[in-house]
Amino acid sequence: MPNFKFFGRKPKRKDFLVVEIGLEKIACAIFQKEGPQIKLVGVGKKKYSLGEEVFDTVLEALDSLAAIAPDFPTTGVLGISGGSLGTITTIARYARPNPKKPITLEETEDALHQIVKDLDTEEKKVFFSTIAGADIDGVRVSNPLGLKGEKIQLSCFAAFKDASELELLHRLMNEIDVKIEKIIPTSFTAAKILLDKNLKDVLIFRVGADRSELTVMNDGHVSEILPVGLGASEPKLLPIAWQAAIKKFEKEKPPDLIWLFADHDQINLEKINEILVEFPWKAQLGFQLDPRVEIAQNIQNFSPSDIGIFALSRQEEYE
């Protein structure tokens, strides 16, 4: 068990902890809010191989972070990739009794709650849900709040995990005495980085050595996140995962971009890029597809393997 060194907390500090459970790496970081700016205080990282190692590896990563910044925050956010992660996008349809009344946050939250309630089971638990988009009287909008209308369709995105995995994560957070204000799929937040590119249909490919994660974006919103048991160590098999993900797109709306980012520093994204560019998309899929492939670059001094940490630190800005 790691020997923790963090003591003397200050309850009024404007800082927070980010814990990112990646595919094969745990990253923990402390950020401090300085007005509109968010400053990185320190990062601790550790790699792992098996899901059973996550609990101890998070503690080890926190211990390495404590050596740099011993004064830990009391609140934080937890990002998750891989494991038993599953996602679904479903539609909530209803007619409003008062079409001239603006749609409120409470109204959309009630609709989302009804959807999530039906998705929860004893084995699988929803840990994150959000309204990804809406259709109001036949008009598609990104944000329905404040708009008026009668016939409503809300696109509800939900992420779930095995109940046993979530229980372990809650036990972990109790162990380190940090109030986790949100658990969120890291890839969902990482996708928000692409909003500035004004891209509607994108395939995001997070690459590990033995595991990867494919995120499907339709009309500017994440519709599905697909963990796969293939990675950079078996490059010749990766097209199997790509073909499965591409089929999630409509033939008339193929991805504008395939965006690559690494799970950790040992991944050679240039090699993955070469395989993607050379892949015979049309011959294999039966329809024309010539996607632009782009490797994620450094963002504000964060490397492509730390994009998850960066995105999670900014997740409030994206809401």
Residues 202-218: tens digit of each pLDDT: 999 999 999 999 999 98
In contact, 259 and 194? CB cutoff 8 Å:
yes
Q: pTM for this structure? A: 0.86
Can you give the pLDDT at residue 263? Answer: 93
The CA distance from 160 to 185, in Å, is 9
On the question of pLDDT at 98 being above 90, the answer is: yes
- Tell me the pLDDT tens digit for each residue of 225-266: 999 999 999 988 888 888 888 888 877 788 888 999 999 989
Residue 160 has pLDDT above 60, yes or no: yes
Query: Is residue 7 very low, low, confident or very high in pLDDT (cuts 50, 70, 90)?
Result: very low
Q: How far is CA 13 from CA 35, 44, 157, in A?
A: 13, 20, 33
Spell out the residues 6+ positions from residue 181 whose beta carbon is closer than 8 angstroms to its own: 75, 76, 77
How far is residue 184's CA from residue 150's CA, in Å, rounded to a whole number?
A: 32
Distance, CA of 108 to CA of 103 (rounded, Å) = 8
Place of tokens 């509800």: 156
- The pLDDT of residue 2 is above 70: no
Least confident of 15-29, 65-79, 276-290, 295-309: 276-290
Q: Where are the domains of the chain?
A: 15-83+164-185, 86-160, 187-308
The set of residues, in sequence order, having a beta carbon less than 8 Å from that of 201 and lying 6+ positions away, is 217, 218, 219, 249, 253, 254, 255, 256
Is the pLDDT at 95 greater than 90, yes or no?
A: yes
- Position 319 scores a pLDDT of 59
Q: What angle do CA 158, 161, 163 make, to 5 degrees?
A: 125
Pick the CATH number of 15-83+164-185 from 3.40.50.620, 3.30.420.40, 3.90.1150.10, 3.10.310.30: 3.30.420.40
The single-letter DSSP state of residue 296 is P
Fold entry, domain 86-160: Dna Ligase; domain 1 (3.30.1490)
Name the residue type at position 231. Answer: G
Provide the token pair at 87: 């996602």
What pLDDT score was predicted for residue 5?
45
How far, in Å, CA of 65 to CA of 28, rounded? 7
Mean pLDDT of 4-31: 76
Q: What is the pLDDT of residue 35?
A: 74
pLDDT at 287 over 80: no
The reported pLDDT for the residue numbered 200 is 80
Q: Per CATH, the architecture of 187-308 is what?
A: 2-Layer Sandwich (3.30)
Q: Is the pLDDT of residue 222 over 80?
A: yes
- Return the axis-axis angle of helices 238-246 and 269-278, rounded to nearest 10°: 60
Q: Locate tokens 């595919």: which residue? A: 23
**Lookup: tokens for 284:** 């294999």
| pLDDT single digits (tens) 294-318 | 998 888 888 888 999 999 998 766 5
Q: What is the mean pLDDT of the chain?
A: 87
pLDDT exceeds 60 at position 166: yes
Question: Of 2-6, 79-83, 121-125, 303-307, which gets the smallest average pLDDT?
Answer: 2-6
Which residue, among 11, 3, 27, has the nearest Cα to 179 in the 3D structure? 11
Q: pLDDT at position 198, please?
A: 76
From CA 233, how far away is CA 187, in angstroms rounded? 21
**Fold identical between 15-83+164-185 and 187-308?**
yes
Which tokens go with 184? Answer: 């969120």
At 12, the pLDDT band (50, 70, 90 cuts) reads very low
Helix, strand or coil, per DSSP, at residue 243: helix
Beta-carbon contacts of residue 224 (< 8 Å; ≥ 6 apart): 87, 88, 89, 215, 216, 248
Q: Tell me the CA end-to-end span of the chain in Å, nearest whole number.
A: 37
Rounded CA-CA distance 62/303 in Å is 20
pLDDT (0 to 100) of residue 317 = 62
- How many CB atoms are located within 10 Å of the residue 123 CB? 10
Which pLDDT band, with edges at 50, 70 and 90, does 106 fall under?
very high
